[in-house]
C-alpha cells in the first residue's frame, strides 16, 4: 500500500473539506466544506463538479430517502434535495448548546444515523455522540468530547469506532441490536504527528483513519495494530470513502484550515479532493432510513 500515491482530482481549495461519500447510482462523490458552508459533488466519470450553498456549517452529507440526503447542519438535521438545492430542517439538535455544531456522521447497515457534535471553538468538552433509529428519537450514546470524529462500524455491525480528536484516541464500542453501546475501550492512540479525523472501515474490517496535521491515512487491523499508511502531499487529511464500481477507489478530503501562507505555498493542493486505488474493497455506502421527519 505504501506505493499508492494520492492524486488531486479537484483542487477545490476547501477550508475544511469533510465527509466524502460515494453515491453509486450517480457514480459521484459528495462532500462538504464546513467552514465555507458548501456542499460539493464530483462526477468520477466526467470530472464534472457542482456546488451548493448550505444554510450554516455542515458536518456531513449522507444518502436519505427519495434521492435526497440528510445533512448535519449546525443546530439540526436537514434534508437536502440536489435538484432544487433546498435544505429542510427535520430535527433540532442541541438547542441548549449554542456554541456547538454537528461534525461527522455515518449511516450503518441497519439505516441508523450516527453523528457527533463538538464545540465550534474547539475548547470545551461539550460534544457528544448520538444515534437516531426507527423511533426517530435522538439518543445520546457517549459524551465529553471537544471534537468528535468517525464514526464508523465493522462489517458485521458488532463494533463501532469513534474518535476523540483532541485526545488523539480512537475508541471501540460493542454494539447491541438496538444500537446500545457498551465496552468502551481504546482502539488506538495516535503516535507521531497528526490528530485522528474521519475514518472508514474496509470489507476486511480494517480501520482507515485520516490524520489532520499528519499528512497521511493510517490503516489498522481489527486488533488495533498499525499495518499501513498512505502519504499525502498536504498536511490536513480529513476523511475517506471507498467508491468506484469495485469499491476499491478511495476518495479523500483535505483542508486548508490552520495552514500558514508559507505552508499553503508549499502545499498548493491543500483543500483538494484526492483519489487513489486500494487493493482492498470498502463497504457499500448505506442509506439512512432513520425516522427524521
**Contacts of 50-53 spanning 24+ positions with Cβ under 8 A:** 52/80, 52/82, 52/85, 53/85
- Give the span between the Cα atoms of 205 and 226, in whole angstroms: 13
Confidence of residue 3 (pLDDT cuts 50, 70, 90): low
pTM: 0.97
Mean pLDDT of 247-251: 98
What tens digit of pLDDT does each residue of 105-156 get?
999 999 999 999 999 999 999 999 999 999 999 999 999 999 999 999 999 9
Confidence of residue 212 (pLDDT cuts 50, 70, 90): very high
Domains and CATH numbers, the chain: 9-277 (2.120.10.30)
- pLDDT exceeds 60 at position 1: no
Mean pLDDT of 236-252: 98
For residues 260 and 235, the answer to whether their CB atoms sit within 8 Å is no
What tens digit of pLDDT does each residue of 29-83 get?
999 999 999 999 999 999 999 999 999 999 999 999 889 999 999 999 999 999 9
Where in the sequence numbering do the catalytic residues fall? 197
Question: In the chain, what percentage of residues exceed pLDDT 70?
Answer: 99
For residues 187 and 208, the answer to whether their CB atoms sit within 8 Å is no
Amino acid at each position: 500500500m505504501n506505493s499508492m500515491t494520492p492524486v488531486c482530482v479537484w483542487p477545490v481549495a476547501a477550508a475544511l473539506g469533510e465527509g466524502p461519500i460515494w453515491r453509486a447510482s450517480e457514480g459521484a462523490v459528495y462532500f462538504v466544506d464546513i467552514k465555507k458552508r458548501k456542499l460539493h459533488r464530483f462526477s468520477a466519470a466526467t470530472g464534472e463538479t457542482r456546488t451548493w450553498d448550505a444554510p450554516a456549517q455542515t458536518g456531513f452529507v449522507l444518502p436519505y430517502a427519495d434521492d435526497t440526503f440528510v445533512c448535519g447542519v449546525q443546530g439540526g438535521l436537514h434534508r437536502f434535495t440536489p435538484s432544487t438545492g433546498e435544505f429542510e430542517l427535520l430535527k433540532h439538535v442541541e438547542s441548549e448548546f449554542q456554541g456547538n455544531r454537528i461534525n461527522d456522521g455515518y449511516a450503518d447497515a441497519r439505516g441508523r444515523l450516527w453523528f457527533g457534535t463538538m464545540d465550534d471553538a474547539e475548547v470545551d468538552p461539550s460534544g457528544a455522540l448520538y444515534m437516531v433509529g426507527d423511533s426517530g428519537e435522538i439518543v445520546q450514546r457517549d459524551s465529553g468530547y471537544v471534537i468528535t470524529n468517525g464514526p464508523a462500524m465493522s462489517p458485521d455491525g458488532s463494533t463501532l469506532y469513534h474518535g476523540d480528536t483532541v485526545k488523539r484516541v480512537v475508541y471501540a464500542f460493542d454494539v447491541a441490536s438496538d444500537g446500545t453501546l457498551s465496552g468502551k475501550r481504546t482502539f488506538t492512540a495516535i503516535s507521531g504527528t497528526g490528530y485522528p479525523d474521519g475514518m472508514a472501515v474496509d470489507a476486511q474490517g480494517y480501520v482507515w483513519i485520516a490524520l489532520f496535521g499528519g499528512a497521511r491515512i493510517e490503516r489498522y487491523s481489527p486488533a488495533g495494530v498499525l499495518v499501513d499508511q498512505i502519504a499525502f502531499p498536504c498536511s490536513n487529511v480529513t476523511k475517506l470513502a471507498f467508491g468506484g464500481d469495485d469499491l476499491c477507489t478511495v476518495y479523500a478530503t483535505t483542508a486548508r484550515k490552520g495552514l500558514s501562507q508559507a505552508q499553503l505555498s508549499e502545499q498548493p493542493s491543500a483543500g483538494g479532493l484526492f483519489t487513489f486505488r486500494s487493493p482492498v474493497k470498502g463497504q457499500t455506502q448505506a442509506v439512512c432510513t432513520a425516522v427524521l421527519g
